[in-house]
Amino acid sequence: MEKTNLFIGKSGSGKTSTLFPIVQNLISNNENMLILDSKEEYYKTYSKKLKENGYNVLVLNLKEALKSNGYNPLALTYYYYKNNNQEIVGELLNNLGHSIFKEESINSDPFWENAAADYFTSLTLTLFKEGSKDEINIGSILTMLSKDNDNFKNYLEKLDPLNPIYMSGSSTAFAPYETKTSILSVMRQKLNTYLMNPELLKILCNDEFNLSDLKEKTAIFIIGKNNLNNLANTLITEVFTLIKYTNYKINFILDNFDTLPKLNILKEMIDNSSYYNITVYTAIKDLIEMESIYGKFIFNHFDNIINVTNNQKLNIGNYEEYPKLKDNKAKYFDIDKLK
């Protein structure tokens, strides 16, 4: 196999059975891996063997939250913030804001989505600056948003106009009432997708992934769910960010890749796979759908494109021991504390 591989085939054509031996080979070579496993076929087949071989097995289960490890999408960004890596902080917040608020639709108005993403960035940076470590979670952002008042506007007025908090938040904070109300409405609508589900909120307010300190052999499984798969994109993006800025190496097996919204880092991943010494295995059902999302030239970036037609029978394991979601009570930041 090459560094970047695209497998194409309709359901039942044998894409997953072609990828299974690759997972086996990665385990034999003690290599790290991230697997997009929307049907739970890889987890049921390989997680037991991974654990027996000393792997740290982590699961983001968007289908059944109670069978997931906690994943805080702000934790890695906060780590880089505390270490004064502002370039990485900006990159991660931009990707997270895009993942949450922006839609790849010709009918969506980018003004409202961009404004919502910018205000989200401002609130998040404020949380990083003023909040305690145990308050750094997505629930705090919604709490800050729900109590949005003159406190935050007054807080911004005391900042240098070139401060990133001011630059990303002032256009909304000082906007006319109706404009600001519309932007905040977009934010609440998008965030409520995650936060109105108590079990999902528990995932997002706990952090067992500890991405900033991945050292041992690790296998990450993402069990996706269509309306929540932008969180899958966020985790994939964060792991790739680790590869870019640390010596950590991990291989990506993205089966049923066409279940994800647009992954903005895809081209960067496949173009730089040799430089970072990683492999990317991507499996899709339909070329036309992928072309409509990524453009017709995306296929030129893959080293290897394989049409799968082997129809080989897939032997799926039956391992059913999933992690149990921790029931820690989350702590949220109170925006009224701003001075």
Other residues' Cβ atoms within 10 Å of the Cβ of residue 303: 15
Q: In this model, does residue 312 exceed pLDDT 90?
A: no
Percent above pLDDT 90 for the chain: 79
Res. 33 pLDDT band, cuts 50 70 90:
very high
Give pairs for 20-24: CB < 8 Å, separation 24+: 20/45, 20/314, 22/253, 22/281, 23/253
Q: In this model, does residue 16 exceed pLDDT 90?
A: yes
The residue with greater pLDDT, 329 or 140, is 140
Across 105-128, average pLDDT: 89
Q: What is the mean pLDDT of the chain?
A: 93
Res. 68 pLDDT band, cuts 50 70 90:
very high
As a whole number of angstroms, the distance between CA 129 and CA 125 comes to 6
What does the buried/exposed string (b/e) look like for 175-210 if buried means 16 or more CB atoms within 10 Å of the residue's CB?
beeeebebbbebbeebbeebbeeeebbbbbbbbbbb
As a whole number of angstroms, the distance between CA 267 and CA 273 comes to 10
8 Å CB contact between 283 and 17: no
pLDDT digits (tens, 9 = 90+) for 256-273: 999 999 999 999 999 999
pLDDT digits (tens, 9 = 90+) for 76-113: 999 999 999 999 999 999 999 999 998 766 666 789 99
Q: In this model, does residue 18 exceed pLDDT 80?
A: yes
Instruction: Fill in the amino acid letter for 297.
Output: F
Give the per-residue pLDDT at 314: 75
Q: In this model, does residue 240 exceed pLDDT 80?
A: yes
Q: In this model, does residue 311 exceed pLDDT 80?
A: no
The residue with greater pLDDT, 106 or 126, is 126
Domain residue spans of the chain: 4-71+209-307, 75-204
Res. 1 pLDDT band, cuts 50 70 90:
confident
Q: In this model, does residue 305 exceed pLDDT 80?
A: yes
Give the per-residue pLDDT at 52: 96
Domain 4-71+209-307 fold = Rossmann fold (3.40.50)
Res. 150 pLDDT band, cuts 50 70 90:
confident
Q: In this model, does residue 157 exceed pLDDT 90?
A: yes
Q: In this model, does residue 26 exceed pLDDT 80?
A: yes
Give the per-residue pLDDT at 83: 96
As a whole number of angstroms, the distance between CA 235 and CA 265 comes to 12
Give me 114's structure tokens: 């961009």
Q: In this model, does residue 13 exceed pLDDT 70?
A: yes
Q: In this model, does residue 329 exceed pLDDT 90?
A: no
Res. 290 pLDDT band, cuts 50 70 90:
very high
Across 161-168, average pLDDT: 97
8 Å CB contact between 204 and 71: yes
Q: How many residues does the chain have?
A: 339
Give the per-residue pLDDT at 106: 60
Instruction: Fill in the amino acid letter for 127.
Output: L
Q: In this model, does residue 334 exceed pLDDT 70?
A: yes
